[in-house]
Structures are given as C-alpha cells and as structure tokens.
Amino acid sequence: MTMSSFLSRCENLDILPAGIIILESDYTVICWNRTMEEWTGIPREKVLGRDLRDLYPHLSDRKYALRIGQVFEGGAAAFFSTQFHPHFIPAPLPGGGLRFQRTTVHSVPEGNKTYALVFIDDVTELVQQVRAYREMRDRALREVRERLEKEAALEESEAKFREIFESANDAIHIHELREDGLPGRFIEVNAVACKMLGYSREEFLAMTPLDLVRGGHSRPLDVIGREILEKGYAIFETEHRRKDGGTVPVEIHAHRVIIRNREVVLSVVRDITERRRNQAALLALTTELQTIFDNAPAMIWYKDTENRFIRVNPAAAASIGLPREEIEGKSAYDLFPELAEKYYRDDLEVISTKKPKLGIIEQMQTRNGGIRWVETHKVPLLDLEGNVSGILLFVNDITERKMAEDALALANRKLHLLSSITRHDLLNQVSALKWYIELARDEKELTTIREFLDKMKKVLDTAEEQITFTRDYQEIGVREPSWQNVADIAARIREGFPPSGVDILLEVDDIEVYADPLFEKVIFNLFENSFRYGGPSLSRIRVSAGEEQGGLVIAVEDNGVGIPEEDKKYLFRKGFGKHTGLGLFLSREILAITGLSIRETGVPGKGARFEIFVPEGKFRRLTRERTGEKG
C-alpha cells in the first residue's frame, strides 16, 4: 500500500484507540487521527499542513530530532519510552494531569520520499498499575526486611540470653506458669542449677519447682502465685532438696516473661547458705550487743553528726529521767540547752579527727534541773567509705566519785591546816612550860614554886586538850563520804539519851544527805549541847528539814536559854565552849567536807537553833515517809 492510498484511507485510522500522526520529512502533519483530536482537543483542520514543531517545540530538541531524523533517512523505528518521554504529545486527562505515552516513530518510504508514522499508546493505566505494584512491592519488601531484621535481632537477643543464661553465677530456672500462678514443669535450666542440686538437665525437665521444695516457702505459696500473676514477679525464700538428700537454702526472684510467644516464669535462684550463716552470726552478735546495750550500767548514746540523739540505752534514758522514745530523734539543744554547744564542740573534734576522744569530765543536767558529773568517751562511727556517720558515747556517772574526791581533797587540806595550827599551839605551850621550868629552877620560895607548878600543870592540861582534839579531828575525811539518812540518825541518837523529860521531836522526811561519816556526831553534838547548855527551861528539842532556795535546811532547835548574842560570833571557833567535846568548830569542819555549812539563828533567852544547809545535789528524798516521835 502506497502512502497516498494509505492516506486515502486515513479516516480508517480514526477507529484506532492509539494516537496516529504522519509527518513529512519537514515535520508537516499530513495525518492527525481522531484519537489525537480527542487527546489534545485540537481538531485536525488546525494541525494538518502545519509543522508539528510549531505546535510542540520540544520536538526540536536533539534527543528527538536526531532519532526522528534517522527515521526519515530510512533507519529503524525509534522507540520513545514512557520513562524518558512520558508526554511525547502532551494530552490532558479529564480528571487533571497528562496522559502517559509510549511512542514509536516508524519510517514509511513512499517513492523517493520517506514519511514518519508516529504511533502513540496511552499507557496511563499501565503506569498507575506499575506504580501501585511498585509501592506494594516496596512495602512488602520493607516488611520482609523488617521481619528479617526482627528475626535477626531476636536471634541475637536469644544468643545473648543464652550466653547470660549459661554464664550466670546463680541458678536459672525457666518453667511453665499455671493459671493459678503456681509453677508448672521445668522448660529449661542452666548448668549452675544442675550443679547446685546435683540433678541432670533431663531430670529437671521431668519435675516442677514444687518437687524441689523441702519445707515451706517464706510466704504462703498462693500469695507468691498471686504476686507473679498480678505484679509480674515475686521474691521469696525456700529450701531446695538436693539429689543426694541435702538441702540448699535459696532466695528466688521469679519473673513472668514471654519467651517464644509463651508466657513462662524465669527464676533466678541464689544459694543463700553463706548468707544464712552470716545472718545467724549477725543475729547472735546483734543480740549480744543489744544485751550489752540494754544492761550496761554505763550510759550509751548514739548521735549523728549534727548533735542529734539517734539511740540511747536504758541507763542513759534513766539518767535524765525521760523515756527513750522522747530522747531518740531529739537534738542535744532540746535536751541540754545549756550544755549542748559544749557537747557539739567535742563531737566536731571527733568528726574532724576521726579519732576517739576519751575521759571527758563534764556535767550533765537531769530533767529536774539537777547537775551530775559524768566521764564521757566519744568514739567516731565510720561508714564503709570511712566517713564519720555518727558518734558513740559511753558515759559514766561519776558524781559521787567526784564528790568523794573533792571531799578528800578538802579534808587533806584541812588536816594540813589543823596540823600546822596544832603544832603552833603545842609549841606555844611547850615554850610556856619551859619558861615556868626556868622560873621554878631559880625560885627559892616554895610557895612561888608551887604556883609555877600549878601554872605548868595548867599548860600541860591545855596541851593535853589540844592533843585530844587532834585525835578527834584526824577522823575527819578519813573515810569516804556517803549517803546518810537524817531521820534514821536523829532517831538513833534520840534512843541513846536516857529519859530526861525533854521531848525530842523528829519532823524529817526520808531524806539522805551526802556527808562525811562523822555527820552523825555533828547531830549528836547539837543534841548534847541542848541538854548541856539549855538550862532549866529546856523541855523540847526539835529536828526538822525543809527545802529552800538552792538546797535543803536541816534545823536542830530547842527551847532552852539560847545563846547569848556576844557568844554567837565565837561559836564556831576552835576551842570555844565549856566542854571538851567535838565542838562546833569540828562540826563545821565535818560538814564542810562535802560542801555543807552550819549557822546559829536562835533567839537568846528563847532557845538555840542550828541550821545545816545542804546544797542541791548533796541531798535526795526517798519515797517512804517518816512521822515525828516524842522521846
């Protein structure tokens, strides 16, 4: 068929669903079928006879021109793919966008001319399908790759798990989980589990964890099961039976886990034999320490580094008269407001040096305001890093020891004083005696000599008195002071006097005073003075006691003649008095040993009244009461 005959039937090309264009070698359009009209909206009348490149300038580009040129030269058909030339002749789609095209340009020789037949397929649907296919395939590939990656990760995870499983120091059990939370059969165990109990892996897999249990669990089994179901884990202790019959105490951390899409329990089983042994030893040690703590006569205080009491023992609590609960947690500033700062300075020294500070002699205040002397040893408590976490105080009440020491020191001092006075007095008497001897030696008059002898005897009597005095006085401070019951002493003395018609009234509660053992002689001396110097009007001696500012006053008074005003200022001097008893001088000295003092406050003509003042801390009240009696 020639081109002219072909063209004569060109209308037949209208029935083709493809776009058909026929070009002369100068791109003049000689055929533009109906499909092209429909696609481009350009009727053939407006295209035929025109240079196609005027309508579609891109066709002048080399990539088209060269290849179409080859076709006009009789070359093979040129194929223009959708990928590189999606819109050979741009043709809009009804819904927007352009049709995708696949174009072939064929050479059609006709006589000495060669025409180009442009055949355009609409591959829009194909493109959409391929794109959908690609998207679907890429998604599928991604999913496959993700799955592969997950599988690889899972494999890696399982490999790691296996490594941990086999290299763990503890036994690991994996077993089934029943619906009630109780364990089912073993699924897997590690080598440590086999070694711990002596069973082979196969023997394990034929058992359940309950087959291993000897005795009970640290908590009821159903509670453990419920915890595993509800919380996902449970920690408990039990004892496992070894294959050789022995037992192993174990601590079990059981966790509900998913392995290979299956809910199971993974238990880490730790042999706690050593721990139990240590716990028992620790318990024994703790008990021992608690016993010591509770029963030690010394006060034990645990303090933190901020002057706060953490724990105290009963002795410590008793010492300040508060229950332990009211001490623990309190600051020293609350309990000992006046002394806390001093205490804290010592604490800080211990904290900074990390060394004990021993033998601190200090005061401690009791709840009722009393002051006690204590000896404190402070020891730093170090934590595992070597830092001071607190301070341990051992405190001994040395009040009585301190008082005794003080009293002894005073007694020694007084004895020394007395010794020197007495020596001086005796030397005076010796000098006087020597003087009278010298006078007598030169005297010829017998009467005068007798007078000298009388005087010499008087000197010797005085010396004898002074020597006797030293015998009594030497008893002062020889023995340690002690707590003495005033009422008992007074009653005992009253019993020692024969009936005389004088009422002796004892109006003293059960009070003890801390005094030299000669305290009883002081009271006796006061009674005796009343009998001796009270005169005919004496009918009553009364002993009473009452607290005053800063201490206690014990009064011994009578209704005798009293003490003349002019004698009062000499009452307590050595040698004063009408009798050679201990005398008020010695009484005052005895009382002073422990810090007590005495004075006379009676009214001349109405009776004598001696008041013994006992300072705070040197007296104490007992619980029982004593009523007054008449002698």
Write the binding mask 99 to 118 for another protein: x where contact by CB under 8 A, - elsewhere. ---x-x-xx-----------
Q: Helix (H, G, I), strand (E, B), or coil: what is residue 53?
A: helix
Whose Cβ is closer to another protein: residue 112's or residue 368's?
Answer: 112
Least CB distance from residue 20 to another protein, whole Å?
15
The contacts of residue 525 (CB under 8 Å, 6+ apart) are 581, 582, 583, 584, 586, 587
- In the chain, the amino acid numbered 64 is Y
Rounded to an integer, what distance in angstroms lies between the CA atom of residue 524 and that of residue 547?
22
Q: Does 127 bind another protein (CB under 8 A)?
A: yes
Stretch that binds another protein, among 121-129, 436-444, 581-589, 612-620 (CB under 8 A): 121-129
Rounded to an integer, what distance in angstroms lies between the CA atom of residue 390 and that of residue 104?
98
For residues 213-242, which are near another protein according to CB under 8 A? none
Q: Which one of residues 46, 50, 113, 134 is an interface residue with another protein (CB under 8 A)?
A: 134
Q: Does 570 bind another protein (CB under 8 A)?
A: no
Q: Does 450 bind another protein (CB under 8 A)?
A: no
Q: Does 79 bind another protein (CB under 8 A)?
A: yes
Q: Does 536 bind another protein (CB under 8 A)?
A: no
Stretch that binds another protein, among 67-75, 157-165, 287-295, 514-522 (CB under 8 A): 67-75
- Nearest Cα to Cα of residue 23 among 63, 64, 62: 64
Least CB distance from residue 103 to another protein, whole Å?
10
- Starting from the edge strand earliest in sequence, which strands make up the sheet with 101-110, in order? 29-32, 19-23, 113-122, 101-110, 78-80
Rounded to an integer, what distance in angstroms lies between the CA atom of residue 172 and that of residue 454?
117
The answer to whether the CB of 223 falls within 8 A of the CB of 216 is no
Q: Does 255 bind another protein (CB under 8 A)?
A: no
Q: Does 627 bind another protein (CB under 8 A)?
A: no
Beta carbons within 10 angstroms of residue 372's beta carbon: 18
For residues 277-316, which are near another protein according to CB under 8 A? none
CA angle 296–298–301, rounded 5-degree value: 100
Stretch that binds another protein, among 33-41, 127-135, 253-261, 319-327 (CB under 8 A): 127-135
Q: Does 138 bind another protein (CB under 8 A)?
A: yes
Q: Does 16 bind another protein (CB under 8 A)?
A: no
The answer to whether the CB of 299 falls within 8 A of the CB of 313 is yes
Q: How many residues bind another protein (CB under 8 A)?
A: 33
Q: Which one of residues 8, 11, 16, 133 is an interface residue with another protein (CB under 8 A)?
A: 133
Rounded to an integer, what distance in angstroms lies between the CA atom of residue 444 and that of residue 435?
16
Q: Does 535 bind another protein (CB under 8 A)?
A: no
> Virtual CA dihedral for 316, 318, 321, 322, nearest 10 degrees?
70
Q: Does 415 bind another protein (CB under 8 A)?
A: no
Whose Cβ is closer to another protein: residue 75's or residue 604's?
Answer: 75
Q: Does 80 bind another protein (CB under 8 A)?
A: yes
Rounded to an integer, what distance in angstroms lies between the CA atom of residue 593 and that of residue 484?
14
Binding residues for another protein, per CB under 8 A? 61-63, 66-67, 70, 73-84, 102, 104, 106-107, 123, 126-127, 130, 133-134, 137-138, 141-142, 145
